Amino acid sequence: MSSYFKGAVTFLILLAGGGLLFEYSAQASDIPAQYYANPLQIRGKPTGSLRGNVVFPSEYNQHSVTFDLSGRTFVTYPDGRFLIERLLPGKYTLNIQMPGFEAVEMTVQVKDAGVVTLKPITLHMARGQVSGRLIYPDGQPAGDIRVRLTPSGTITATDTAGEFRFVGVPSGTHALHVDDPRITLLAPPQVTTRGNENRYMGSIRVQRQFGENKATAILLP
C-alpha cells in the first residue's frame, strides 16, 4: 500500500445537530478519536486531548461504555479505552451512569495542547436494594404495575401482592415513577441509598381516577 493510502485511511462521521465528530486514523491512534467540538467551534484555538480507560470488575464482562463529558455523550472502545480530542482548555465533568454499577463522577482539567491521561476508571458493582408496595385505597394490592427508578432507569413490576424490588441500586437519591397510563405520581417518592443498603419505601397508595382512567399515587406515612 502506498504511503498516500497509509496516511489517508480516515473516516469521518458528523452527527446531525450535535457537532460531535468521530475520526479513525491509522496514523493518529489505534482507537477511534472522538471530537468534543467541530472546527467551526474551535476556529484555530489551541485544544487538548483526553485519554482514559473504563474497566469492569471482570474482564469477561468488559464492553463499551457510554459516558457524559460536560453535557456531551461519548462511547468507549469495546476494551474500555477512549480518546477525546478538540477540547478547549478548562474544566470538564466526566460522568458514568451504568445500570448495576456505582456512579462515577470526576472533574478533569484540560490545558492548552496538552494530553490528559486518566488513571483506569474501575466500575464497582452496585449492591443496594429498594423495595416497597403499591396499594389501592381499600388496601387491595396494585399488582402488575411497572415501576421505575431514576436516574438509574431500572424497571421492574409489582407482583400480585403489589410488592416491588429493585436490586443493584447504586448509592444516591432515587425517585420512584409509575409507568402505567392509568396511574400518575403527583410527587414521585424518593429514597436515598448508600453502599449496599436495603431500603423499604413503605406502602404507596394508588387511587384510580375513573373519569380519566388514571390514578394518583401517594406515599403513606
**More confident of the two residues 4 and 198:** 198
In the three-class reduction of DSSP (H, G, I as helix; E, B as strand; rest coil), residue 5 is classed as helix
Q: Which is higher by pLDDT, 11 or 48?
A: 48
Question: What pTM value is reported for the model?
Answer: 0.67
Percent of the chain with pLDDT over 90: 56
The pLDDT value recorded for residue 104 is: 95
pLDDT digits (tens, 9 = 90+) for 82-140: 999 999 999 999 999 888 899 999 999 998 888 999 999 999 999 999 999 998 888 89
Distance of CA 216 to the CA centre of its chain: 28
> What DSSP character marks residue 119?
P
The C-alpha cell 443496594 sits at 128
Residue of 86, 174, 74 lying closest to 128 (CA atoms): 174
pLDDT of residue 185: 64
Residue 192 has pLDDT above 60, yes or no: yes
Q: Rounded to whole angstroms, what are the CA distances from 174 to 1, 22, 116, 184, 189?
A: 56, 34, 33, 17, 8
The answer to whether 94 and 116 are in contact (CB under 8 A) is no
Q: What is the largest CA-CA distance in the chain?
A: 79
Residue 141, preceding peptide bond in cis (omega within 30° of 0): no
Whether pLDDT at 52 is above 90: yes
Strand partners for 133 = 163, 203
Q: Give the long-range contacts of residues 55-59, CB within 8 A, separation 24 or more.
A: 55/80, 55/120, 55/121, 55/122, 55/123, 56/80, 56/123, 57/122, 57/123, 57/124, 57/125
pLDDT per residue as tens digits for the range 140-181: 999 999 999 988 888 999 999 999 999 999 999 999 998 888
Cell of 180: 402505567
Label residue 209 by pLDDT band (50, 70, 90). Answer: low
Domains of the chain, first to last: 3-122 (2.60.40.10), 128-219 (2.60.40.1120)
